Amino acid sequence: MVTSSAPGKVYLFGEHAVVYGEPAVPCAIEQRASVTAERRPEGLSVHSSDLTLDGFTVEYSGDAAGRPDVDVPDTLLEAAMGYVNEAVEQARDAADAPDAGFEITIESDIPLGAGLGSSAAVAVAAIDAATRELGVELSRGELADRAYRVEHTVQDGQASRADTFCSTMGGAVRVEGEDCRTTDAPDLPFVIGYDGGAGDTGALVASVRELRESYDFAADTVAAIGDIVRSGERALAEADVAEVGRLMDFNHGLLSALGVSSRSLDAMVWAARDAGAMGAKLTGAGGGGCIVALDDTSETATALDYTPGCERSFRAELDTDGVRVESDGAGGST
Residue-wise burial string across 114-137, b where 16 or more C-beta atoms lie within 10 A, e elsewhere: bbbbbbbbbbbbbbbbbbbbbeee
Residue 326 maps to a domain: no
- The whole-number pLDDT of residue 71 equals 47
Tally of domains within the chain? 2
List C-alpha distances in Å: 117 to 39, 135, 188, 307: 26, 27, 18, 24
Higher confidence at residue 13 or residue 78? 13
**Could you tell me which residues come within 8 angstroms of residue 56 by beta carbon, excluding any fewer than 6 positions away?**
49, 50, 70, 71, 72
- The whole-number pLDDT of residue 79 equals 60
- The whole-number pLDDT of residue 198 equals 80
pTM, rounded to two decimals: 0.86
Reported as a single tens digit per residue, the pLDDT across 46-83 is 887 654 434 334 444 554 445 554 444 555 556 667 88
166 and 222 share a domain? no
Which regions of the chain does DSSP assign to beta strands (E)? 2-13, 25-40, 44-49, 57-60, 101-108, 172-176, 179-183, 190-194, 279-282, 290-294, 312-316, 324-327
CATH code for the domain in which residue 141 is found: 3.30.230.10
Residue 334 maps to a domain: no
18 and 166 share a domain? yes
- The whole-number pLDDT of residue 48 equals 75
Residue 325 maps to a domain: no
Residues classed as catalytic: 163
Output Rg (C-alpha) for the chain, integer angstroms: 19
pLDDT at 288 over 60: yes
32 and 150 share a domain? yes
137 and 214 share a domain? no
Residue 280 confidence class, pLDDT cut points 50, 70, 90: very high
Reported as a single tens digit per residue, the pLDDT across 211-262 is 999 999 999 999 999 999 999 999 999 999 999 999 999 999 999 999 999 9
33 and 127 share a domain? yes
Reported as a single tens digit per residue, the pLDDT across 143-187 is 999 999 998 888 777 678 889 999 999 999 999 989 999 998 998
Q: Which of 72-86, 189-203, 310-324 has the highest mean pLDDT?
A: 310-324
Question: Hey, what's the torsion of the CAs at 114, 239, 160, 178, to 10 degrees?
Answer: -170
208 and 153 share a domain? no
Using a pLDDT cut of 90, give the percent of the chain over it.
Answer: 71
245, containing H or E segment:
helix 241-257
10 and 80 share a domain? yes
Q: Which amino acid belongs to residue 198?
A: A
DSSP bridge partners of 294: 190, 279
| Cβ atoms of 320 and 169 closer than 8 Å | no
Give the residue numbers spanning the domain of 199.
Answer: 190-316
Residue 43: Cβ within 10 Å count: 14
151 and 287 share a domain? no
Residue 87 maps to a domain: yes
Domain termination residue (choose one: 184, 207, 237): 184
166 and 27 share a domain? yes
